[in-house]
Structure 1
Amino acid sequence: FEDMITRCQPVDFEEEVDFGRVTAVAAEKLSPRIGLSIDEINDRFIQKTDAGGTPVADGVMLRHFRMQDIAQPELVLVRTFEGVPVEYQNPVTGALNSDEIHAFFFLVSPAEHTSLHLRMLARIAERADDMNFGLVWIAAVDEHALRDIFLRSDRYLTVPVLPQSPASGLIGVPVSEMEIPGGCRIVWIRQFDEVIVPTGDTVIKSGDLLTVIGDPADLNAFRRMYHD
């Protein structure tokens, strides 16, 4: 789940938009990742009955489907500051309801991994059901902060690289030459106001803030090396 979140593509709409526009942008983001055309993805999300569509929490909607020939789940997050009115059929009563949505999640998972798909849905729904989710969602200052909402505290670590910090020895070192515990991965680096996805050639600079994901034991080892 954490790996999917770090790869996901957040989209912000400050202006007023409708559901069709939201879905079209999500399809544009997903198309190169899953190998379907924008129209095919849009059709699956809007018209097909196999795409889930009821709100999972107040102001939150999750659209999803599974397909063959993709290796891993892909997710697009969409935040709408103005809110988008969406009509949907209540799965219990059959009545037509309407809700104003500020958070959309568009998930596509491998067809052969049903349990994985269900786990992804459950993790998203669990976080979205938190009573403070709406406030945290709208208050997030950038896409980095939006992703952070879904990362478990025991599964990620932020490490400042400063001249007097335990990580000072990383300054000037390419990521490929860092000593990193086996299960850890640096998923992004904040360099002042910019957030980058590092490659092996990325050189760590003074003032960088590293975000690292991994299993708790490996993160503890990383913390002992570069944080504590």
Structure 2
Amino acid sequence: PIIGIVAPIFFIFQMGWESILFSVGLVVSSILWYRFYGKSRARRDGAIFHVFERWGQQRDKNLDRELRGIMKEKGLRDEDPFDEVVARSYVIDAEKESFEQLVKLASANLAGRVPLDAEELESRFLQGTLIGATPVTHGVALPHLRVVGVEHPELVLVRVRLGVTIHLSSPLQKRESDQEVKAIFFLVSPDADPTRHLRMLAQIAGSVDKDTFDDAWKAARDEAEIKEVLLRDERYRNIVVDTEGKSADLIGKALKDIVIPDGALIALIKRADETVIPRGHTVLQDGDRLTIIGTSKGVDEFHRRYD
């Protein structure tokens, strides 16, 4: 191989200045073309999935532990809106459905929030399972897309109480398999920020990896509790509004009139059997259960004032 590389260079020099200048010009023009045109358009993130899959064929049982350690060490950045994305996510709570029907339902919801129609989203999610791009772990599937024109990540949470079977294909390993899952998280992120997309996938995977996830997921009684399973423990609190404690001052007030500490946000309101999406004009009532998200400091301050 070395002789095959060196020999042509020797022959080019033997052929005279015209051949030398032509070869140098070709190399320089190729470098310039890549630097100013090709580099910005090249997509490399897809290749990493193939590399991981090849590694997976040779993995030992310490690899998953190492990857989880790296994930926990790096984690989300402070500016990543993970908890906000979970709080405004759409929840599908089904007893038993086919995977294709759940993809259709999730795509129909996401179509109103991203610049793709439901049919295109459905096609791309299903295609992901056929080419091995949908991670499945601990009974949870993570179909995900990056889409041009999306302003911020959008999420659909699906719980299937009796489970759903997903047919998965692995082109590199040339095998197919059926796996049963009880949770599916559909994530759509901006195409312009692939690293944040991967961080959010890693955070979801980390939540699923916790020993408490399975029991908490099964026990969740409503939409609000399903979302709380994914919220970071240090980044959210629940406060019940009642007439006996500090939160009595909140009764009858619209959210826009409440002094909320910096770094805190009222993300969900559970009222009897109903989940209320907070708006500025929403008036709090006795018995409301508030889900507060934000920075650790902001959430703790809200909790100190009103609980």
* Same topology, TM > 0.5: yes
Cα deviation, 1:110-131, whole Å, max 9, x if unaligned, reads: 0011111011100111111223
Contact 1:12 1:80 in 2 (8 A): yes
Counterpart position of 1:84: 164
Matched, 1:34 2:106: no
CA distance in structure 2 between the partners assigned to 1:155 and 1:102 by the alignment? 26
Question: Against the structure 1 CA distance between its residues 54 and 179, is the aligned structure 2 distance closer, same or farther, given a 3 Å change threshold?
Answer: closer
Task: Assess if the C-alpha contact under 8 Å between 2:131 and 2:170 holds in 1.
Answer: no
Q: For 1:138-177, what aligned pairs fall within 5 Å after superposition? A: 138-177=218-257
Pick closer, same or farther for the CA change 1:139–1:92 going to 2, 3 Å.
Answer: farther
TM-score, structure 2 length as denominator? 0.70
1:9 is aligned to 2:54? no
Q: Indicate the structure with greater helix content.
A: 2
What is the CA–CA distance in structure 1 between the aligned matches of 2:216 and 2:122, rounded to whole Å?
A: 28
Gaps of 5+ in 1: none
For 2:295, the equivalent position in structure 1 comes to 215
Mapped pair 1:130 → 2:210: yes
User: Any idea what the Cα deviations from partners look like across 1:177-209, whole Å, max 9, x if unmatched?
Assistant: 101112111111111221101111111111111
1:54 aligns with 2:135: yes
Match of 1:192? Answer: 272
1:91 CA displacement: 7.0
Q: TM-score, normalised by structure 1?
A: 0.93
Give a deviation string over 1:144-187, Cα, whole Å, max 9, x none. 11101011121011111111111111111111010111211111
Percent identity of the aligned residues?
35
Q: CA deviation at 1:5?
A: 0.3
CA RMSD of aligned residues (A): 1.7
Hey, what's the Cα distance between the residues in 2 that align with 1:42 and 1:164? 49
Please give the per-residue CA displacement for 1:12-53, whole angstroms capped at 9, x wherever unaligned: 1113x2211111011011000002111000011012578831
Q: Matches of 2:244 and 2:133 in 1, distance apart?
A: 50
Partner-residue secondary structure (3-state), 2:215 = helix
Aligned to 1:43: 123
Specify the SS of the correspondent of 1:167: helix
SS at match of 1:11: strand
Q: Could you say what secondary structure the match of 1:34 adopts?
A: coil
| Structure 2 residue matching 1:32: 3-state secondary structure | coil
1:52–1:62 Cα contact (<8 Å) kept: no
Whether the 8 Å contact between 1:51 and 1:65 is mirrored in structure 2 is: no
Structure possessing the higher radius of gyration over alpha carbons: 2
Report Cα offsets for 1:46-70 as digits up to 9, x if no partner.
1257883131x12111000101111
State the number of aligned residues. 225
Matches of 1:90 and 1:50 in 2, distance apart? 6
Code of the aligned partner of 1:53 = T
Higher relative strand content: 1
